[in-house]
Structure 1
Amino acid sequence: MTAAFPQQILTASQMQEAEQALLDAGETIETLMERAGAGAADWVWRIAAHRPVTVLCGPGNNGGDGYVIARVLAERGVPVQVVAPIPPKTDAAKIARAKWGGEPVSDAKGEVLVDCLFGTGLGRPLDDSLLAHLTSLAASHPIRIAVDLPSGIDSDNGEALNEGLPHYQLTISLGAWKYAHWMMPAMAAMGDKRLVDIGVGRVHEAARLSTPPQLAAPAPDAHKYSRGLLVVLAGEMPGAAVLAARAAQHGGAGYVKVFAGEDDERFPVPPDLVVDHGSLFDLVRDHRIDAFLVGPGLGRSDEAQARLDWVLACDLPTVVDADALALLEPQMLEEREWPIVATPHAGELDAMANSFGVAGLDRAEQAIELAEGIEGVMVAKGPDTLIAAQGSSLAIMPPATSWLSTAGTGDVLAGLIASRLACGVNPRKAAEQGCWLHALAARKAGPTFTAGQLIEQVPAAYAELM
């Protein structure tokens, strides 16, 4: 069964409220458990292919799901053993165990391990004996499947509550995605992910998993200025600005140019990239400019600070990246009407959190609070990129290839987002579109690519999204 809202991502408390709404509508915990366990059993059955299965059941309702899984698999002729280091403590789990009708064993070896020890809502580490039991069973089963969440994972931030937790080939989420499914470090240990529908409805203010955007060709009567003029400010390391501008040329904007300053003749550029060597004063008098990108290679000198101040004072759609993030202060945004799009990596995000007074929060909470603080859009980039926008729900990008972890790819992303801004796309959508172009281009580039080779794949990525 396909979930009605397959993209929403819930916190543990939101999931509890969603389940309570189902109960208030006439469901029972037992019927929900049957639905969840049977749906998970379908996936386990496909993977097991009649090989021996061990189900590790905990004391709560996640363990109850495990007893349902064991019963359904046994009814289908799959050899099943249940390991239950703690007997069921909830009424629903006790009923599920009774319906299973078997007797747990203290240890087991088989082909497939199904982890139903603990799921959503676990807030403390596993004790030593449970951790040892889990890791021993994981070591003796070549195929490992987690139900709802791998045991020992914080549902709301993806942190591992214990060291040495197992890795899984498959994780089956029950009812809705949780933050941990799409956030590091947990995401890296979950393998493939599948969602089982139990009837959860739309949850107000839920985060969502980003879906591919639909891009379009220019209008039939388009010209370079109608498609958007983007200005990329260069600084102490102008190569980064050129890299971002080259990416932006493939992101949809009709005209991309680099502003290098009056005395800056330090770098060659491709023949199709315009470099402006005028003054900032002359630059901002050009009313054809649709968007700015500031930060790649900018430096952190007084001159860099002055360039950032000047650009922000122009009050046009602006992407703030790299060095500009370190120079950004709350008062610099006070008179602006257009939101900025900030694109920090993890270290820059922490620094911004200190500057804007939201330190000490989880990464998702930081991104959300910072989006409110800058009255704009935060792209907290990394292997689990988060996009937070003032007045909108948090979006989480599906994971991209880890080959993006190379120098210059952040400049490429900033250029793509800025290009979408220059095209007139609203800042939140521009951020998501840029991230999708970036991820798809990386997939097409294959392994061991450079930032320049990543740019070469952007046209094909754009075509895939049309």
Structure 2
Amino acid sequence: MQPILSMETMRASDAWTIANRVPGLTLMARAARGIFRAADWPAGTAIVIGPGNNGGDGAALACLLARAGIPCTIYRLSDKASPDNAHYLARAETLGVPILPFAGREADLAAAPAVADCVLGTGFSGPLRGAARQAVEWINRAGENGAFVVSADINSGLNGDTGAADLAVVSDLTVSIGFYKTGLFRGDAPRYIRRLVNVDIGIEQQGQAAAFLAPPGAQPGPGQIACPPGCRWDSLPAADDPDDI
């Protein structure tokens, strides 16, 4: 059985690991590698990123796609970027990845064959507003047009604890990072997530799990959550990764 964490426990685990075990840039590189390995990415993939570390996962993913010879484009919702996000944006630029503002490029996004949703992370709560809401609407339009949509860590618009959403990205695949979060299974989440995997990137759990994921096909017992169809646990060996991309 795999642990499912609350956002409070996930934040504490992430912070402890960065302070004591693994630098944040390395964790971001591992997260991106897990996302990269989880899907077959076509040429012309669009990566939509916000200013936070969820956007940084997308920028690092773009670096991996570029190194693999898969053309992709980054669409930024903001000129702001967290330090780790900015690091991988600069790296992607040196690798020749086009980095464009999202505003005014919505039609390009809607025509993409695949879209990586890296807009909002698990810490989001409340209704979507502004550019983030517009991005989610256009990502969903791309999905309706046949694009394969992958959400990084959680579908943008979902609450990481409750799974509540007034609007969220509808993903073909969601790649949870580190540990499953309760919001991936509760509330509105089943409406938005078609398939779910988790990638272990070396975050060490600090605190108690909120629940455990029952084995696929098994009836959940006390303190367990049923495994959705297609759900599996993917492990990414740390030794297989460079310190940075």
TM bucket normalised to smaller:
0.7 to 0.9
Q: CA deviation at 1:27?
A: 1.5
Aligned position for 1:395: 224
Q: What CA deviation, in whole Å up to 9, does each residue of 1:258-288 have, x standing for no partner?
A: xxxxxxxxxxxxxxxxxxxxxxxxxxxxxxx
Aligned position for 2:54: 62
CA 386–119 in structure 1, closer or farther in 2 if over 3 Å, else same: farther
Specify the SS of the correspondent of 2:198. strand
Aligned position for 1:168: 171
Specify the SS of the correspondent of 2:74. strand
Aligned position for 1:124: 126
CA contact (8 A) 2:157 2:169 kept: no
* Structure 1 segment 30-69 matched on structure 2, within 5 A: 30-44=25-39, 46=40, 48=41, 50-69=42-61
* Structure 1 segment 414-425 matched on structure 2, within 5 A: none
**Any gaps of 5 or more consecutive residues in structure 2?**
230-245
Specify the SS of the correspondent of 2:99. coil
CA distance in 2, matches of 1:212, 1:83: 36
1 or 2, which has the higher strand percentage? Answer: 2
* Structure 1 segment 4-403 matched on structure 2, within 5 A: 7-44=2-39, 46=40, 48=41, 50-101=42-93, 102-105=97-100, 106=102, 107=105, 108=108, 109-141=111-143, 142=146, 143-160=148-165, 162-163=166-167, 165-206=168-209, 207-211=211-215, 388=222, 394-399=223-228
Q: What CA deviation, in whole Å up to 9, does each residue of 1:372-404 have, x standing for no partner?
A: xxxxxxxxxxxxx9865xxxxx3212247xxxx
**Any gaps of 5 or more consecutive residues in structure 1?**
1-5, 215-384, 389-393, 401-466
CA contact (8 A) 2:24 2:84 kept: yes
Q: What CA deviation, in whole Å up to 9, does each residue of 1:407-456 have, x standing for no partner?
A: xxxxxxxxxxxxxxxxxxxxxxxxxxxxxxxxxxxxxxxxxxxxxxxxxx
CA 398–184 in structure 1, closer or farther in 2 if over 3 Å, else same: farther
CA contact (8 A) 2:5 2:182 kept: yes
CA distance in 2, matches of 1:68, 1:88: 16
User: Runs (4+) of structure 1 moved beyond 3 Å?
Assistant: 385-388
* Letter of the structure 2 residue corresponding to residue 111 of structure 1: P
CA contact (8 A) 1:54 1:81 kept: yes
- Max Rg structure: 1
Specify the SS of the correspondent of 1:140. helix
TM-score, normalised to structure 1's length? Answer: 0.43
CA distance in 1, matches of 2:66, 2:38: 14
* Letter of the structure 2 residue corresponding to residue 139 of structure 1: R
CA distance in 1, matches of 2:122, 2:174: 13
CA distance in 2, matches of 1:201, 1:26: 9
Q: CA deviation at 1:184?
A: 3.4
Q: CA deviation at 1:123?
A: 1.8
Aligned length: 215
Q: What CA deviation, in whole Å up to 9, does each residue of 1:190-243 have, x standing for no partner?
A: 1111111111234432021123799xxxxxxxxxxxxxxxxxxxxxxxxxxxxx
Q: What CA deviation, in whole Å up to 9, does each residue of 1:316-363 have, x standing for no partner?
A: xxxxxxxxxxxxxxxxxxxxxxxxxxxxxxxxxxxxxxxxxxxxxxxx
CA contact (8 A) 1:63 1:88 kept: no
CA distance in 2, matches of 1:157, 1:39: 25
CA distance in 1, matches of 2:221, 2:188: 18
Q: Could you say what the CA RMSD is over the residues aligned between the two structures, in angstroms? A: 2.2
The share of aligned pairs that are identical, in percent, is: 25
